[in-house]
Structure formats: C-alpha cells, structure tokens
Structure 1
Amino acid sequence: MSLRLISAFSLVFAVTSTAISRPATAAVPSPDETVTCDIFVAGGGLAGAAAAYEGLLAGKTVCVTEITDWLGGQISSQGTSALDERPTQREQFFFPQGYLELRERIEDYYGELNPGDCWVSLSCFFPDDAHSMLQSQLEDAEREGQGTLKWFPSTVVKDLDLNADGTLMERVIGIQHEPTDDAPPLNTYHLSETIEDWYQYEDSDQFKKTIIEFMPQDDDWYVIDATETGELVGLADVPYRLGLDPRSHLEPSSVTESGDRYCTQGFTYTFAMEATEEPQDHPEPDFYAQYEPYYSYELERLASFDLVFTYRRLWSPETGEQDRFGGIGFTKPTPGDISMQNWTWGNDYRPGTAEDNFIYTREQLEESGQLSPGGWMGGLRTETLRRGEEHALGYFHWLVAGTTDSQLGDEFKEPHPNNRFLSGLDSPMGTEHGLSKYPYIREGRRIIGREGEGYPDGFTIWEVDITRNDLTDEYYQETLSDSEYQWLKQELAGTEAIAAMLGEDTDQRARSRIYPDSVGIGHYAIDFHPCMTEHPPEKPGNTEREGTRRAEGQAYPFQIPLRALIPQDIDNFLIAGKSIATSNIAAAAYRVHSFEWSVGAAAGTTAAFALEEDVYPYELVDGRFYSNEQLQGLKRRLEDNGNPTAFPDTSIFNNDWDDWR
C-alpha cells in the first residue's frame, strides 16, 4: 500500500469542512475597457514578476495587475528589500536565471550588491529602487522575447466568471483606482484607510475607478494567482487550507490535533529610519501605551540597538567601526545610515484568534457576503490592518525612546534619540506616512492540489518532505499514536521504505522528497513568526502560541512540484507564490525571495507551454510521470531557459545532503 494512501481524510476535512460552491456571475457594471492577454497574472510581487518575465520571453501577451503601484512585492511595496538566501545556494549561484539577472541589476545600479552593509544578507537595498530595476527587467524581456506587457498598477481583482461547469476561468474583472482631481496623491493614506474603497465599483471622494474586463486574447488563456494572500484562490472558492494543520504522521510537529485556521504567521509593516548626528524630537504617539507591552529585543544575545539597526541596513555611505555583539559581527551605524525594520518582537503583528485573524476563512468570507456576486472585498480584516500600522509606528517610538522590554526586563532597553523616521512620497517606502505600501505577508491561503496516486485527499507538500529536524525523537513517539508513528517511520525511510514497512530499524533519510514533476527549487530554513495566543496580540503578558516553534529548524534543499501549482476543479488556473499546495510548516520555508522567483518562473513557463502544446497542466501530471513526454518537454524548457528543477547531486540515490546548509 502506498504510504500516502493512508493519510487520514480528516487532515483535509478539518480545515475545508464547508461544501464548495462556485461564485455565480456577478452583476458587474459595464466595463470601461476590455483588455485581452494570453496570460493574466494577479499580483506584481516577485512570483508575479517572474511569471510575467518568462511569459514575455516566450512571446506571450501578459497582463499583470497589482494592488499597489510598485512591482516587486517583498523587495519593494512590502519593504523587505534584503534577499533571504542560503549560503551554499548563493556560493554556487544556483538560482533561476531571472533572479540572477535581478541580483546583477542591483549590483550594477549601486556598484555593489550590499550598499547597506547589512549582516542578515549579502544584499540589502532601497525598496523604491527595486521597483524601477524590476520594471526595466520586464521591459527588456518584452523586447527580447517579442512579447507584450500590459501593466495595471493600483488594480484589484473584483470578480471572476467561470464557464457553465466551473472548469475554466473565462473573464476577470479588475478595478483600477487613481486619485480624483481634488484628492492627494496615491500612497498618502494608510492602506487600512483606503483598501475597502479600492474594491468598490463606484467612484468616491478620493478615487476615480476604471472597471477593466480581462479576457483571453484568442480562445485560450491562463490565469495565475500570484497575490500575497491567495486572493483568487479565495474568490474562486477552490479547496484550500489556512493556518495550522492537524497533527499527523505527515505534519508531526503541529501543535494541534484539529488544526487552527485563525493562527497564521505574523505580517509586518516595514519602515525605514535614518541615523542622525543630533538627537531628534520623538513625541509619544497617542496609541503607544496600547502596544508598548509587546515590544522586545527578544533574546539577550540580540539586545543591542546597533545590532538591530544594522540587521537590515539599506544604505551606509560611510563605513563605521567594526563591532560585535552576541557572536555577530557588524559595522557600527554612522550618521546618514538608513535601516529597514522587520523584527519579530517589534513590528511583526501576530493575530491568531477568530476575533482578529488577518486573512478571513472561507466561513468568514461567506458570512460577510464576500463570496456572493460582486461582494469580494479582498478577503482581509481591515481593522487588523489598522492595528498592524499603529503597532509598527509604535515600534519605531520604542526603538528611539522606549525603556521597557516585554521578554527580557527593562534593564536591557535605553533610548536612542539620534534617529529619525523616514516618511514622504520620496522616502524609501514611497509613502507619505512612511510605512510600506503593503505589509510583508508570510502566509496566505494554501491550495490543496488535485487527488492522485498516494494523495487521495489532494496533493500537499508536508513537513516530513523537507525537514532536517530529528523526527525520530521520543517526543513524536509519545505524541503520535502507535500506528501514526509507524507511518512516520516509513515516510522517513527513503529508499529503505520496504524495510520500515516490515518493522525493521531504519534511519531518517538525509534528504528532502524527490518529485518527478519538479519545476523549480527552493532552500530556506523552516522559519516561524507564530501567532499570539490571546486577543489582541499586543495584550500585556501575551505569549506566542505554545509549541508552534517545535517545527522550526533547517530544511534540506527542496523542489517545487508542478502538482503544487495546480488547484482543484479549474483547469486554466495556476498558483504562484506562497499559495501553492504546502502545509503550514512547509510554507514557513517556501516563502522567501528566490523561491518566489522560481515558482513564478515555473508558473509562467507552464502557462506558455500549455498554450503552445494545447494541453492542460493537470494532464502533465496524470499517470506515470517519467513516461509523460510533454512533462519532460516542460522540464527541458525550464532547464534550457536557466530555471533549475533540481539541485546538483541531490538524487533519490544520494542520501548525503549534509553539505547543503
């Protein structure tokens, strides 16, 4: 019996128990314009940009919509412009070709890859520059491939139309907004003040709306969801998961037996601050007392302002003195240095209850009318966005004026007034208020892939498929039932699976799972920013959800199987970015910059290939993978275009992957 066949139906049912229904055709006002394309990409982050890049190189007409007015997502509108990379992958330059090109553009633009001399990465840079560099990269791909890019900034997806049997997307309705003649420029107001307006068809005092109907250029097209939270996944109402998965032999480190849809990873509004020669005036915000009980350096070995400032320093015109704290070396801040802040016990906002969860569950969407025709409003809780904004602004005040520390005690924190908050439309974040245009999202809706051999409840990448953690620890034998623990041992046995099934002692394999339909790669640690236990997150004495970090640790280099990009039910719909079919724990590794590019490149290439070969992506993974000539053709195209689908020397027969750190 296949090990995956014994995965319990409850693993899926616990988080998708409501019957799936299709959104009916919406009563849409007459569109102001109709736009056609071969590939429609919702979301202009790194995954969406990579999908567009490959589509353009293949000569396709590509439409890209983005809720903000910047391309780049993590590296621009979300402000996390510090590339998260593993050293061994970076040392070998083993990334997708388009991602390598982006790195080269950064280095060419500044004359160096790390103009901020940050210590978290080999590359930290300005978010506003990232947008411009990525825009130029897509324009060059458009010329090289003779494709056509149709770019729609400040545009949200409002409605989807499916065919009669719900298997094809036939039309996408978007709303593009721009300021009215009497209103201030874009990015003046906080996102929480404007996002609900953006999803309304009608003009408002602040915004003029253009209703855009997106249609196939010919008879066929592909729609790719590369949004940060899986917006189209929620709107199309395909099966998906959200939050913690139930504990099982596939997700043995999960803290809950039943799952928890409200406990997603925290989101972060980033901001930039500048070191100054003289002390600055820092009046206390009216809301500061509400959030002050949360802020902390977190650990004694991190309890240094200079360490935190230089962690993601974006700009350092003058090299400071060498310093060291907690075993970490860095150059001290000097006046004129600019730092971006992204800190777990700082500007991370970590809701985790039904009262404050950020991404609405399917039940909440249905109850609020967002699954009714014309009812979609983005699927997010606006009040939580607002609190996240205040929380981030409060963190800046804590850094420069605070004297408390929620985790270490007050003796670790002293004021650092020689810093100023950077705001204004010409600031690094490009907003009048100084916060990033959109929060950095670590986890969104995650599809459940289609059923197949070994995956009777739908395809998913699980914790056991990638982790380096020791899952033979006594904890798992004590926590799992006897039968689940035996299944776990079989999952971990690799090529010794038969011996494990016969009850023989076997070692945990020293590699990740190998997928015959791999279309991309990624490598990063399983890294958690857990939800908080009680409402609200900033409640005095609140704690992280107990046990959530058990799964945290290193992962082996992993692959991106095509099955993880293919949702159930809709045949011309692909997923890129963080909404692919991963579990909660696996998603903690499948979320960083180079992964987003790799999965976006895979989605864009797959869409172009499917159009040319007149085949649906799900047909490429039906039956025997190795005998499917079209699947092998897709993999060859990816490799030929510089998009690796496997790491060097990481085969099913090689169990020694210890060098990949």
Structure 2
Amino acid sequence: MSGQIERAITADIAIIGGGLGGVAAALAALRRGHRVTLSEEYSWLGGQLTSQAVPPDEHIWVEQFGITASYRALREGIRQYYRDFYPLTNAARKNPQLNPGLGRVSQLCHEPTVAVAAITQLLAPYCSSGLLTVLQPYVPVTAKVSGDNVDSITLRNVRTGNEVVVNAPLVLDATETGDLLPLTGTEYIVGSESRGQTGEPSAPETADPSNVQSIAWCFVFDHVDGDHTIERPDDYEHWLELAPSFWGGPMLSFTAPNPRTLEPEERTLHVNSSVGDDHADGDPRFDPGDQDLWEFRRIVARQNFLPGSFPSDIVLANWPSLDYLGGSVIDTPDRDFHLAQAKAQSRAYFYWLQTEAPRPDGGHGWPGLRLRGDVVGTDDGFAQAPYIRESRRIVAVTTVVEQDVSVVARGDAGPARFPNSVGVGMYRIDLHPSTGGDNYLDIECAPFEIPLGALVPVRTRNLIPAAKNIGTTHITNGAYRLHPVEWNIGESAGELASYCLEQSMTPRDVLSDPGLVRQFQTRLVEVGVEIHWPEIVGY
C-alpha cells in the first residue's frame, strides 16, 4: 500500500542504505563537493558496526596498512572518543592502539554507541553545509526505471508510512541485502552457485538460491549482583531440542563445530575473568580467539578504566549458537517470520545462559547476567537489526571466484591482484552454517584486491553496488563481507560515482578504458585508498 508522498528530493548521488558501505560512499562523494541523499532503515548509521552491534572483524596488519585512510580515521575517532569522555587508566589513555574491550576478535572492540558518535562526527560538517541529507528510518519500496537507467527511488518511512522520491543521476545500493537490485530490475544472484557456474572447487553440484549464510540477532550483556533472569520464553522447549546433525549437540549449549576442523568442541564462559598478558597476542591465522565466549567479543574491559567505573565488563554476543538456520530472509514471503525466529533463538539462548548453562564452579546458570539495551539503543536488549552476512549480489562484469583468492586453489599465498583494483581486503573465506544445511566452510585466503569490474553491473548503467552486493560468489562473499572491506567497497563506489558525474560517463565507460581506469585509480590513491598489497604472505 502506497503512502503519502511527503516531498521529492534531487541529489547528485542517492545512496540507499546507511551501513558502513553507505557511510563510506557518502563521505567519498561529499569530499568531492557533491550533493548526497543517504537513507537508512534503522536509527543508527553504521550497519554491522552499530545497529547490528558487531565490533569490527579485521586482518592482523590493520594498524599498519591494508585499510583506507578514512577507515583509519573512523577507528581513530572511536579511540579518541574514549580518551575524551571515558575514565580510562593512564596506561589505557596513552596506548595508541587502545582496545577498549580487550576482545580477542579484533584489535578494536568497542561499544556500538561510540561508533555512532564517531560516524556522526565524520558526517557533521556536511550535514551543516547542506550537502548531505540523511533520511531515517526509510526503506526503498519502488524504483522508476527507463531502459537501463534508474531515474528515481521511492523511500517509505517505516514509522509513518509517508514516502519520499529521490532523483539522482547516480544511485548506489548500500542496503544490507541488495534491496535495490530487484526493484530496479538489475540482474543479480542470491544464494549458492553451482560448481558448473563458477568452477569453484568448494561449490556444490547444484545451485540453491535459498542457501545463504545464517543471520544472527546479537545482544549485549554484563554481569552484576541480583537476579536479572528474563521471563522464560514460550518457545524455549523448541530451541532446547534444536540440534543440527553436524553440530555435536544442542545449539543451546557451549558446543559448536570448529570452523576449520568441523569437529564439535566445547567453549567456555568465564564471567568477568581477568585479562591475561597474552590477550593481544592472538593471531587469527592460528587462534580465532573464540574459545572463551566472554573474552571473544568483550566490548568494555573494566581494567582499561579507573577502579569503580564499571561494575562489570560488557560483552557482545555473536556466537555460533545464535546462528539462525531456519530459512533465508532474502526473496521470501516469510522474511518477517524468519527475522522473528532469529531473535527468538537468541532470546532462548540468553535465558539458557541465565538458568541452565554449566558454570566452571559446577553450578548452572548466571542469573546476574543482564541485557544491556541501553548499549544497543533498544528496549528489549537485543540489537536494532540482525547481523546480515550475505546479500543479493549483482551479476557483474567481473565476478570474484574462489580460484582468485584461495591459497590452495591459487597455489600461492601472495597477494591476489587485479589490474583494475580499487581497494584491498583480507579475511579467511569464512562461511557460517547456512540455511541450506551446510556446515562451516573455512578456507585460507590470500590478501586480496577489489576489482573495479565487481562494482559494475552487466547492464544497468547508473547503479553501483556499495556493500556486500558486489560481484562475488556465495563463497567469496565470505571474505569480502567484513567491516573494513565493506567500507572500502563503499568508499570506492562513492568515488566512482563522483568521477562519473564529473566526466559525464557511466561506470561501464570508465571500466572499458584502461586510461580512465588508471586515472581513477590515481584519484583513489590520492585520498588514501590502498589499491595493492605489499608483498606479504596470506593466512
């Protein structure tokens, strides 16, 4: 049902979706002086870093190289916010590589609210100047298309139902699941491709559009005195009985497959454990850091702050037992059902932690565990949005396949290069258990680059993907989906849109001319986008 049209907005560039890719794309276009309209479904900009509440998954060289200058500025803005406003110890305040949560997943584990503040600071000058218009909370509902050109996007306010029409010569899809692709008729792929389609050694024999990586509905919690046990969920028995054949036990447990060996293994939860001297020494090539779930994604560590500042550490739960395998949320009439089920699974898991989980002292349950909705900006204690690992993906001029980046498939651990690279990234090919019943897929990956051709649809002329919807496969998306890579994709997409506006060209025009590609790459390098890796060995 259509809502009332509030207004029409004309911009130079329309960016639909305000996750990390959307924010990076907006900053890139704004610093070139272009008028940008940026829309976002949730209350916070930043996507997986904020509304989804997941601290950044990054490679081991992140403090030295392998990210863009603007992503480095975001990371430094997060650290500076803690230095400016939090009661840090002297040692923590002086640490140039401050890790507020001392979590093992990243060298920068932090609260999502602080990332929101850092993003707000980056965008503030452009909001004040009028170059940037931010529309929240809006989702795309229709598109006007003429031939191979997207003319306008209609957005709907998810609270009021009123609609806004955005007109722009360049349109960027930075939504979490590639929502503009079906609306604009842009060719796309969803789910897993067959081996015959991609030639990938790890691809299945048969394609399955409904087979995507699991989503997870994350939550944040701490542990304090008192009984904070939530009401027993009505469907708790259902989740207690859920035990996928490959899991090694029920999902409401500390048992889960090791992503690399696929053998079930036991994890631990040491509540408010002290942080050892080796906390910063974890190398994800050999230690994923997930053996103790309290330490894994801790976002506030008390020892970084003056005594008495925090009654407890604060932890983000994004664990295997939260992975929802019940169905895809893409291209299905059951999307709302699956979203509700994903949150229900996480709620049941938290109740299990409070009441039944085995403690190291031999007891069961921690009733002192407390949901921290204030940290994630919700009333119920769960993140505003589900953690989305996989999107629709454009049918691109260039599709990155497993053979391009896998160390085994390439026979080489050196950097995986593309001559028209527009950025770099690094992560293992890390696929979580899927809605098609697949176990983990974990493949050693070389440091890789982002080919310009992966940002260019085969047909649509003025739409550019700016998030997890570029030309990857179900398998390679597992490496290209993480925080710094999504930011780099978005930043390069914003720069590409700006360059096309200034040259009166399409993205395909740029890609087709080696001279223009080199000129565009020079622009990227000048603003701090690394387009090639140094000679290093991958993991």
TM range (shorter): 0.7 to 0.9
CA distance in 1, matches of 2:469, 2:387: 14
Letter in 2 for 1:158: V
In structure 2, the CA distance between the partners of 1:532 and 1:34, relative to structure 1 (3 Å rule), is closer
Match of 2:405 among 463, 466, 470: 466
Equivalent residue number for residue 17 of structure 2: 43
Letter in 1 for 2:523: R
Q: Specify the alignment match of 1:438 in structure 2.
A: 385
Q: Offset at 1:31?
A: 2.4
Distance (whole Å) between structure 1 residues aligned to residue 492 and residue 172 of structure 2: 11
Match of 2:174 among 210, 226, 251: 226
For the residues of structure 2 that align with 1:580 and 1:641, how far apart are their CA atoms? 22
Give the match for residue 70 of structure 2.
98
CA distance in 1, matches of 2:318, 2:115: 17
**2:465 alignment counterpart:** 575
Q: 1:357 aligns with which of 294, 318, 328?
A: 328
1:447 CA drift (Å):
1.1
The partner residue of 2:135 within 152, 160, 169 is 152
Q: Aligned AA for 2:329? A: F
Question: 1:388 aligns to what?
Answer: 342
Equivalent residue letter for 1:62: V
CA displacement 1:264-300 (0-9 Å, x = unmatched): 0011111111111345444422221111232232254
Q: 1:415 aligns with which of 347, 365, 370?
A: 365
Distance 2:363 2:429 in 1: 30
- For 1:568-614, what per-residue CA distance to the aligned partner results, in whole angstroms no more than 9, with x for missing partners? 32111100110001011100000111001100010000000000011
Residue 23 of structure 1 corresponds to none
Cα distance in 2 between the residues matched to 1:128 and 1:288 = 31
Structure 1 vs Structure 2 CA RMSD: 2.5
Question: For residues 34 and 276 of structure 1, do their structure 2 counterparts lie closer, same or farther at Cα, with a shift above 3 Å needed?
Answer: same
Give the drift of 1:39.
Answer: 0.6
Report the secondary structure of 1:577's partner residue: coil
Q: Decide whether aligned partners of structure 1 residues 284 and 97 sit closer, same or farther in structure 2, where only a CA change above 3 A counts.
A: same
Specify which of 171, 181, 199 is matched with residue 152 of structure 2.
171
Distance 1:511 1:208 in 2: 52
Per the alignment, in what secondary structure is the counterpart of residue 519 of structure 1? strand
The alignment partner of 2:468 has SS state of helix
Whether 1:565 and 2:455 are equivalent positions in the alignment is yes
1:449 to 389, 396, 400: 396
- TM-score of the pair, normalised by structure 2: 0.85
Distance 1:132 1:467 in 2: 37
Question: What residue is the counterpart of 1:302 in the other structure?
Answer: 267
Structure 1 counterpart of 2:115: 130
Amino acid at match of 1:85: E
Residues 142, 561 of structure 1: alpha-carbon distance in 2 compared, 3 angstrom cutoff: farther
Letter paired with 1:530: P
Aligned AA (2:532): A
Q: Is 1:84 matched up with 2:57?
A: yes
Give the match's secondary structure for 1:156: strand
- Distance in 2 (CA, whole Å) between partners of 1:71 and 1:38 is 20
Which of the residues 209, 212, 216 maps onto 2:161? 209
Query: Secondary structure of 2:140's partner?
Result: strand
State the distance in 2 between where 1:317 and 1:602 align: 38
How far apart are 1:142 and its partner, in Å? 6.2
Is 1:530 matched up with 2:433?
yes
Query: Which secondary structure state, in structure 2, belongs to the residue aligned with residue 579 of structure 1?
Result: coil
1:313 equivalenced with 2:298 (yes/no): yes
Residue in 1 that maps onto 2:520: 634
What does the per-residue CA deviation read over 1:504-527, in whole Å, with 9 as the maximum and x for residues that have no partner?
xxxx23335421211111111111
- 1:235, distance to aligned residue in structure 2 (A): 1.7
Task: Specify the code of the residue in structure 1 equivalent to 2:58.
Answer: E
Shift of 1:336: 1.9
- 1:560 alignment partner, SS class: strand
CA distance in 2, matches of 1:271, 1:317: 19
Question: Alpha-carbon deviation of 1:316?
Answer: 2.4
CA drift at 1:132: 2.1
For residue 256 of structure 1, report the CA deviation from its aligned partner: 1.9
| Alignment correspondent of 2:144 | 161
Q: Is the 8 A contact 2:109 2:299 kept in 1?
A: yes
Q: Does 1:238 align with 2:186?
A: yes
Give the deviation of 1:249 after TM superposition.
Answer: 8.9
Identity among equivalent positions (%) equals 30
Rounded to whole Å, the distance in 1 between the matches of 2:139 and 2:197 is 39
Deviations 1:328-381 (A, max 9, x none): xxxxxx84211110001x222123xxxx32211xxx5xxx6xxxxxxxxxxx71
- Counterpart secondary structure, 1:611: helix
For residue 343 of structure 1, the aligned residue among 293, 314, 319 is: 319
Aligned counterpart for 1:263 among listed residues 211, 216, 228: 211
- Asked if 1:428 is matched to 2:375, the reply is yes
Give the distance between the partners of 1:400 and 1:245, measured in 2 at CA.
Answer: 41
Instruction: Indicate conservation of the 8 Å contact 1:57/1:142, yes or no.
Output: no
Paired letter, 2:412:
R
What CA distance in whole angstroms lies between the structure 1 residues aligned with 2:252 and 2:165?
45
Q: Which amino acid aligns with 1:347?
A: L
Summarize the Cα distance change of 1:343–1:412 in structure 2 as closer, same or farther, 3 Å threshold: farther
Contact 1:238/1:567, CA 8 A, preserved across alignment = yes
Question: What letter corresponds to residue 647 of structure 1 in structure 2?
Answer: W
Which of 262-271 and 234-243 deviates more? Answer: 234-243
1:259–1:70: structure 2 CA closer, same or farther, 3 Å change rule? Answer: same
Q: How many residues align?
A: 485
Aligned mates of 1:301, 1:557 — CA distance in 2: 31
- Residue 416 (structure 1) shift: 2.2
| Larger Cα-atom Rg | 1
2:24, 2:487 within 8 Å by CA — same for their partners in 1? yes
| Contact kept? 2:69, 2:529, Cα under 8 Å | yes
Q: Give the CA deviation at 1:319.
A: 6.1
Amino acid of the residue matched to residue 237 of structure 2? A
Q: How has the CA–CA distance of structure 1 residues 60 and 441 changed in structure 2, closer, same or farther, with 3 Å as cutoff?
A: same
* 1:246–1:254 CA contact under 8 A, matched in 2: no
Give structure 2 stretches of 5+ with no counterpart. Answer: 84-92, 242-250, 257-263, 272-291
Amino acid aligned to 2:395: I
